[in-house]
Amino acid sequence: MQGMVLDERLEREDTAENAELVARAGDGDQVAWDRLVDRYGEVVWAVARAQGLGARDASDVSQVTWLLLAQHLGALRQHERVGAWLLRTATREAYRMRRLRGYEVPAPAAGR
């Protein structure tokens, strides 16, 4: 269910506004950066929590995800897809955190 909510939110992305926000944030515009965080902060957090991480580890994943975005803003090829980039990055970071912390990674369900 939570995955569907995230997918729907990403599908409703205002791609033109995202492209503008990413470009402005890359130029150092704090208001644009804050808008991105307001728009996607809950999504990044939800991805980390959906991977079974506790609040502290989910917070770490969120911080690392935003740091990586800040470091890669200039390299993003599709500014309008920043939400999808954040989702993929948060998912990868959550898996990395699970391995580092020794969480059990559930096996995929049969038939999938």
6: Cβ contacts below 8 Å, ≥ 6 apart: 43, 46, 47, 87
Structural domain boundaries enclosing 74? 2-101
Least confident of 47-51, 60-64, 104-108: 104-108
pLDDT at 108: 63
Is 26 inside a domain boundary? Answer: yes
Q: Which of 6, 30, 17, 25 minimizes the C-alpha distance to 94?
A: 6
Look over the chain and give the mean of its residue pLDDT values, rounded to a whole number. 85
Is 110 inside a domain boundary? Answer: no
Indicate whether 21 pLDDT > 70. Answer: yes
Is 80 inside a domain boundary? Answer: yes
- The CATH number covering residue 76 comes to 1.10.1740.10
Is 42 inside a domain boundary? Answer: yes
Is 76 inside a domain boundary? Answer: yes
Q: Are 42 and 27 in contact (CB under 8 A)?
A: no
pLDDT, average across residues 74-89: 90
Indicate whether 1 pLDDT > 50. Answer: no
CA–CA distance from 36 to each of 54, 94, 97 (Å)?
A: 24, 20, 24
pLDDT at 99: 87
Is 45 inside a domain boundary? Answer: yes
Indicate whether 89 pLDDT > 70. Answer: yes
Per-residue pLDDT tens digits for 26-45: 999 999 999 999 999 999 99
pLDDT at 107: 60
Is 83 inside a domain boundary? Answer: yes
Q: Work out how many domains the chain is built from and give that number.
A: 1
Q: pTM for this structure? A: 0.79
Is 66 inside a domain boundary? Answer: yes
